[in-house]
């Protein structure tokens, strides 16, 4: 009663008159019921959270025990990895046991096992997880499908490649799923990868395309270079980057870079110069000849190309480049002017040429850069 009176005073007021006067008890009961319901709801939530924590800890303990059992010397997993015979115990695992086995196999692959053990892990993964992976790819949630694709990639599960091909043809397949599938194609050397890259439907970043290209097997990589003219422009640009990163010194790669340097596309020319500088070991004369061609008619090219060529002229020395470098010290771009001075300083007669530039160059900024470069060279000699 005391609680009801207090609620009455707070909610209605001790001197209030009107309709609420006759319904005080009803209002108090409603408010009490609401408060009790809220309290009960909070208690249920709190109990659920405690139960979930308990269940999670219990599952982790069970997984730890099962992991230790599988890692123990003489376990059926260790016997399989050593002898190659798949026992019934491995094939009849429950869901939680499969989860532990999957984690262990992935850890083993990450450690870089010997070839025969890697093959056994891949065979076992297909035998144990193949049917469940196929089911998830068909009807699982998006997050489950993505995780499963990552598992398929790590286990090198080539048996599911036809199923992945069906996924690509479904409109519900998301860009991330398509990217992972093509990465699997590249890693496994699946013949469909070149045909997929020829399509214009993919909208990915350069880094994504590059990650696919760097995973290509040697035979697939050669096929893709043969179809260079047919792939979309973005992939063409990344193929040139991939030649540099893969350090592809094959005759086909060098010929392709030479064609691009002599071509009309400014961006591809710039990337091709950078790539050729990386892969042309033993073929410096080829790069020097292409730079000499540029030296005759390249002064009007784009800034990025002028910068790249200026840097290369400091690496590939030729007396014919010296007048060009001195001209480039008067370039509108400060970075190019500085690179031209640095490149000129690498020549045997660079000190003399910089002194001449500091006195006689018609551009005052070129004279200043020459003087600063001379000062740095003299300071470096003193430090030595």
Question: What is the chain's pLDDT, residue by residue, as a tens digit (384 residues)?
Answer: 455 555 555 555 555 455 455 566 677 777 788 888 888 888 888 778 877 776 767 666 667 767 777 777 777 788 888 887 777 777 777 777 788 888 888 988 888 888 888 898 899 899 889 999 999 998 889 999 999 999 999 999 999 999 999 998 888 899 999 999 999 999 999 989 999 998 877 788 999 999 999 999 999 999 999 999 999 999 999 999 999 999 999 999 999 999 999 998 999 999 999 999 888 877 778 888 888 888 877 667 888 888 999 999 988 888 889 998 998 998 889 999 999 999 999 998 888 989 998 888 898 888 999 899 888 887 666 554
What is the reported pTM?
0.76
Q: Which two tokens stand for residue 102?
A: 């999957």
Tallying the residues shown for the chain, one arrives at: 384
Angle, CA 162 vertex, CA 158 and CA 168 arms, to 5°: 115
For the chain, what percentages of helix, strand and coil (3-state, to nearest 5) are there?
A: 75, 0, 25
Q: Give the other-Cβ count within 10 Å of 64's Cβ.
A: 11
Whose structure tokens read 């046991």? 97
Structure-derived torsion over alpha carbons of residues 336, 340, 341, 344, reported in degrees to the nearest 10:
170
- Cα distances from 274 to residues 117, 269, 279, 316, 325, in angstroms, run 40, 9, 9, 13, 18
Q: Alpha-carbon distance 211 to 241, whole Å?
A: 11
Give the HSE-up count for residue 14: Cα atoms under 13 Å, Cβ half-sphere: 2
- Contact residues for 86 (Cβ-Cβ < 8 A; gap 6+): 80, 123, 124, 127
Please return the burial class of 174, using the count of CB atoms within 10 Å of its CB with bins 0-12, 13-18 and 19+: exposed
């Amino acid at each position: 009663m005391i609680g009801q009176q207090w609620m009455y005073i707070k909610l209605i007021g001790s001197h209030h008159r009107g309709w609420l006067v006759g319904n005080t008890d009803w209002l108090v009961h409603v408010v009490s019921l609401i408060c009790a319901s809220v309290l009960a709801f909070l208690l249920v939530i709190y109990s659920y959270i405690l139960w979930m924590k308990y269940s999670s800890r219990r599952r982790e303990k069970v997984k730890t025990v099962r992991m230790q059992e599988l890692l123990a010397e003489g376990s059926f997993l260790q016997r399989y990895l050593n002898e190659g015979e798949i026992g019934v115990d491995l094939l009849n695992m429950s869901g939680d046991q499969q989860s532990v086995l999957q984690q262990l196999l992935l850890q083993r692959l990450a450690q870089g096992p010997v070839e025969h053990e890697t093959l056994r892990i891949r065979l076992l993964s297909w035998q144990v997880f193949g049917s469940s992976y196929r089911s998830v790819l068909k009807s699982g949630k998006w997050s489950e499908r993505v995780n499963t694709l990552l598992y398929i990639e790590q286990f090198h599960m080539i048996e599911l490649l036809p199923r992945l091909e069906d996924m690509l043809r479904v409109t519900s397949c998301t860009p991330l799923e398509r990217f992972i599938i093509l990465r699997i194609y590249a890693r496994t050397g699946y013949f469909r990868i070149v045909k997929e890259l020829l399509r214009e439907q993919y909208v990915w970043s350069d880094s994504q395309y590059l990650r696919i290209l760097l995973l290509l097997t040697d035979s697939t990589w050669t096929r893709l270079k043969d179809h260079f003219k047919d792939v979309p422009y973005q992939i063409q640009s990344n193929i040139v980057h991939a030649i540099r990163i893969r350090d592809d010194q094959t005759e086909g790669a060098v010929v392709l870079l030479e064609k691009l340097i002599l071509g009309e596309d400014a961006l591809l020319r710039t990337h091709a110069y950078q790539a050729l500088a990386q892969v042309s070991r033993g073929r410096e004369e080829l790069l020097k000849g292409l730079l000499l061609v540029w030296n005759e008619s390249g002064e009007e090219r784009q800034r990025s190309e002028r910068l790249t060529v200026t840097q290369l002229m400091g690496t590939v020395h030729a007396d014919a480049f010296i007048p060009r470098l001195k001209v480039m010290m008067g370039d509108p771009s400060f970075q190019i002017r500085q690179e031209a001075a640095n490149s000129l300083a690498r020549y045997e007669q660079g000190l003399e040429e910089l002194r001449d530039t500091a006195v006689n160059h018609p551009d005052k900024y070129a004279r200043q850069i020459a003087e600063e470069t001379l000062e740095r060279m003299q300071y470096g000699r003193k430090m030595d």
